[in-house]
Amino acid sequence: TQLLEQSPQFLSIQEGENLTVYCNSSSVFSSLQWYRQEPGEGPVLLVTVVTGGEVKKLKRLTFQFGDARKDSSLHITAAQPGDTGLYLCAGATSGSRLTFGEGTQLTVNP
């Protein structure tokens, strides 16, 4: 069974602070995706990273895929209350199924 471990599990910060969420595994993934989920809704895809060492930026969000394609990080700069939500990483292997981490519940306080 391939496992993805996310840390921290919970994060509560003030508006304007920076934060990093980590996603780690002992398995190699062909791609890794980050999703954000709000209460009562399904996960919404933020980004897909495919190449080891790849860095992608989406406004204040920076995503990095580890060189060995076993880990990833999500960095948010100057967090805003609208960033509040459950952040999920998910890894894809040679098949089509995604393996999700347990998620990081982020709360940004105004």
Residues binding another protein (CB under 8 A): 4, 6, 30-31, 33, 35, 40-45, 48, 88, 90, 92, 95-103, 105
Q: Which is nearer to another protein, 30 or 80 (CB)?
A: 30
Least spacing, CB of residue 87 vs another protein, in Å: 10
Neighbours of 65 (CB within 10 A): 24
Phi, psi torsion values for 81, nearest 5 degrees = -55, -30
Give CA–CA dist 43/51, Å, rounded.
Answer: 23
Least spacing, CB of residue 68 vs another protein, in Å: 19
Least spacing, CB of residue 39 vs another protein, in Å: 11
Q: Which is nearer to another protein, 35 or 70 (CB)?
A: 35
Q: State both tokens at 16.
A: 């304007």
Q: Is the peptide bond before 43 cis (omega within 30 degrees of 0)?
A: no
